[in-house]
Amino acid sequence: MAHAGEKRKRDNGNGSNVVGTIKHPLSGFELKAVSSGSENCNDAVINLENTPFQTSASRRFHSELSSPVSSFLKNDPELKLQLKNDIYAVYNLSPSPELNDPNNWFVLIADFKWNQKQVEDLYLIAICHQHDIRSLRDLTEDHLPLLKNILEEGKEAILKRYGIHENKLRIYLHYQPSYFHLHVHFTVLGQDAPGSFVEHAHLLCDVIQNIESNPQYYQTRTLTFALREHEALLKKFKELRDI
């Protein structure tokens, strides 16, 4: 063990030795008293008490090197945006100049559940620009141009970008939807996408034909859908049933 002020030789990197002073970690401690027995040549247990480090001390930690640890200790952690799922950003986009009617405009974007690497897991969402179409229930014959535009333009864009033909696509709407702004799902057949089962998904081509046969189809039709046991909507249905 090196004592305070002890001199040792060290290599200065050029092959020659330099004599330097090594400061012992406990050099600042002083022996005040021995309660009993003798301290000579005997092992001892030393209990040291220390208060939590001060804020000023933490600022010197890794002062020359920025690291996640030093940022955390300084109570100034770096925040990184991992996902921005803002469907309403579509309102800030401008429609293509070749579109004569903005009411038929929509954007086709990748769903956050798809990593955009495996084409066989393709999952896209078409979000319409109109603000007042909340779900399947709001659709009437006035919306047929929009629905047909989403169907045809969406298939064409996927074929051009990903090389997937329309006969390999499942194109559908959810009811009840996960959020109340009209959007259409595009997935690949064979993919077990969430909500693609019959109690939740309505094929877009069927929706178009239903409205063409009856313009008020989705205002009058009883629609069956599944709910999880603890969902708030199921609780509301149970409350209304008991009234």
Of 94, 61, 65, nearest to 75 by C-alpha is 61
Indicate the CATH number of 87-242 among 3.20.20.110, 3.40.50.620, 3.30.428.10, 3.90.280.10.
3.30.428.10
For residue 214, what pLDDT is reported?
96
Of 137, 121, 126, nearest to 188 by C-alpha is 121
Of 146, 154, 139, nearest to 185 by C-alpha is 154
Return mean pLDDT, the chain. 76
For residue 200, what pLDDT is reported?
86
Separation between Cα atoms, residue 203 and residue 210, nearest integer Å: 11
Q: What global pTM score does this model have?
A: 0.59
For residue 77, what pLDDT is reported?
58
| pLDDT tens-place string over residues 32-81 | 666 666 666 667 666 666 666 565 655 554 454 555 666 555 665 566 66
Asked if 111 and 123 touch (Cβ cutoff 8 Å), the reply is yes
Q: Which two tokens stand for residue 147?
A: 């629905």
The larger pLDDT score, comparing residue 192 to residue 166, is at 166
| pLDDT tens-place string over residues 191-222 | 888 778 888 899 999 999 999 999 999 999 99
| pLDDT tens-place string over residues 117-153 | 889 889 999 999 888 899 999 999 999 999 999 999 9
Among the listed residues 129, 174, 183, 185, the single catalytic one is 183
Give yes or no: 183 in active site.
Answer: yes
